[in-house]
Structure 1
């Protein structure tokens, strides 16, 4: 079982961000069950995927707030060096953006398969939808390898 510190050092994702993502998937799952098991076809595909798209938007907004906070903290405090702040901002961008891009791609491809009704064959789902998740898994393994090789990246990620 991963602790929150290990999860944060490997994925650079805070528990509140993980809570947003899981809550969006929970609402999506509930709407999916309501639509297909209880035959509520008034729930369109767009409304079905709206929690996932809103989750991505909230995640992007959260990252933007963190980056702006870092920037304004640098402007107000003279003790921080510009090199440290720029390095921290670039590190946060390159650790959060791949996760968000993979989630957006996955949600968009899953939405397109629902629209075009390609759910009948599981080969189409794996060929089209799972590619961003495979890329994200490779990115996680690369990040774990980098964190194990260089301890300074882990320290920067936790600051």
Structure 2
């Protein structure tokens, strides 16, 4: 089983960020059920995808706050070397931005598929799932780098 420290070291996601993402998908799922199973057609596609878009915006805003805090903390504390602070900011950008970009692209492509009524088509997996494939590839790269740095052992079941 994956522990939270390994999950955090691989994805660099804090519990509050994970909670935002899961809450957005939960509210999207509830609205989707209300629209199609209970025939509430007053819920438009924009209202349906609004929780996912807001989740991405809140997640991006949270990361922006963290980056600005690092920037201003570096300017106020003379004990923190500027090169280290810049490296830390760049590291945070390259660890968080791919996740957010993949989620934004996936939500946008899924939204367009809903609008164009292409959900029954098999091409939806070719178009909408590409950001998730990219994210999984980035995740494997991140796991490999993290494993080399901290000697985390991965046990594969046979």
> What are the residue-to-residue correspondences of 1:109-148 with 2, within 5 Å?
109-121=109-121, 123-148=122-147
> Any gaps of 5 or more consecutive residues in structure 1?
152-159
Question: Once the 2 structures are TM-superposed, how far is the Cα of residue 150 of structure 1 from its aligned partner?
Answer: 2.6
Tell me: higher relative CO, structure 1 or 2? Use CA pairs within 8 A at least 6 residues apart.
Answer: 1
> Any gaps of 5 or more consecutive residues in structure 2?
151-158
Q: Distance in 2 between matches of 1:144 and 1:137?
A: 10
The alignment's C-alpha RMSD in Å is: 1.1
**Which residue of the partner structure matches residue 55 of structure 1?**
55
Q: In 2, are the aligned partners of 1:11 and 1:95 still within 8 Å (CA)?
A: yes
Q: In 2, are the aligned partners of 1:113 and 1:125 still within 8 Å (CA)?
A: yes
Question: Once the 2 structures are TM-superposed, how far is the Cα of residue 147 of structure 1 from its aligned partner?
Answer: 1.1
What is the aligned length?
151
**Which residue of the partner structure matches residue 150 of structure 1?**
149
Q: Distance in 2 between matches of 1:2 and 1:18?
A: 15
Q: Distance in 1 between matches of 2:41 and 2:113?
A: 17
Q: In 2, are the aligned partners of 1:12 and 1:96 still within 8 Å (CA)?
A: yes
Q: Distance in 2 between matches of 1:73 and 1:3?
A: 31
TM-score normalised by the chain length of structure 2: 0.93
Task: Give 1 or 2: higher helix fraction.
Answer: 1
TM-score normalised by the chain length of structure 1: 0.93
